[in-house]
Amino acid sequence: MYIENLIEQQKTQLVIFDLDGTLVDSVPEIAAAVDDALLALNLPQAGVERVRDWVGNGLSKLWERALQYADVYTPEFHQQSYQDLLMHYERNVNQSTCAYAGVTELLTVLQQHGITMAVCTNKMERFVPGILQKQNIDGFFSMIVGGDTFAEKKPSALPLLEICQQFNVPVENTLMIGDSESDAKAAHAAGIACVLLAQGYSQGIDLNTLPALAVKTDIQSLLM
């Protein structure tokens, strides 16, 4: 099994997971929130496929991209309307998000090997526990870090280093599993090995050009 061989080779003690595009597919409900917010402003809706290319840098950056798409972006308008997006997202969150096939099996394998697990996402921290709980995977994780937990978020190395420090695990014994440029860059900056999954939200970037240990098709490919 790929993941078992990898953690043995790396002497892994801690695995840090991204959330959206890695553990769960959340784009449909994010797109619904964006379209609801745009519609309320009498702006053209974006649709799921456009929003899929905008996900990965937090809701604030996503809203900036949505306003740019609608050709109405200014920093002032972004600031004025951002709370409206959050309101619509709170109405849509956890309605259609689902865990990718193989997630529970992967987490179970890691747990059986005594690996500590954490989530590090650029989504606001308050939205994360409910998502994990609804997918029945919350019990696997010992720490949740959101985009607003610390002063910096991915692609900064800071949140990953804070997680390592929390569990007193050296970076060389830590593994990051993600799906995007921000995951790869954060892990690289922290000195942490990273595996990227092509199943997620790459914003059109060729994952093979990023500083990662490997690029795998999806969660299930880690179990083969």
> How far apart are alpha carbons 43 and 29 in whole angstroms?
18
Domain identity same for 55 and 102:
no
Domain identity same for 58 and 168:
no
Domain final residue, candidates 36, 70, 92: 92
* pTM, full prediction: 0.95
Cβ atoms of 137 and 104 closer than 8 Å: yes
Domain identity same for 111 and 216:
yes
Range of the domain at 70: 27-92
Domain identity same for 133 and 107:
yes
Domain identity same for 43 and 121:
no
Domain identity same for 75 and 109:
no
Q: What is the DSSP letter of 100?
A: P
For this structure, is 179 an active site residue? no
Residue by residue, pLDDT tens for the chain (224 residues) are: 999 999 999 999 999 999 999 999 999 999 999 999 999 999 999 999 999 999 988 899 999 999 999 999 999 999 999 999 999 999 988 989 999 999 999 999 999 999 999 999 999 999 999 999 999 999 999 999 999 999 999 999 999 999 999 999 999 999 999 999 999 999 999 999 999 999 999 989 999 999 999 999 999 999 99
Domain identity same for 35 and 112:
no
- The total domain count for the chain is 2
Closest CA to 95 of 146, 30, 17, 46: 30
Cβ atoms of 45 and 108 closer than 8 Å: no
Closest CA to 55 of 89, 21, 101, 15: 21
Kindly report the CATH number assigned to the domain that includes residue 41: 1.10.150.240
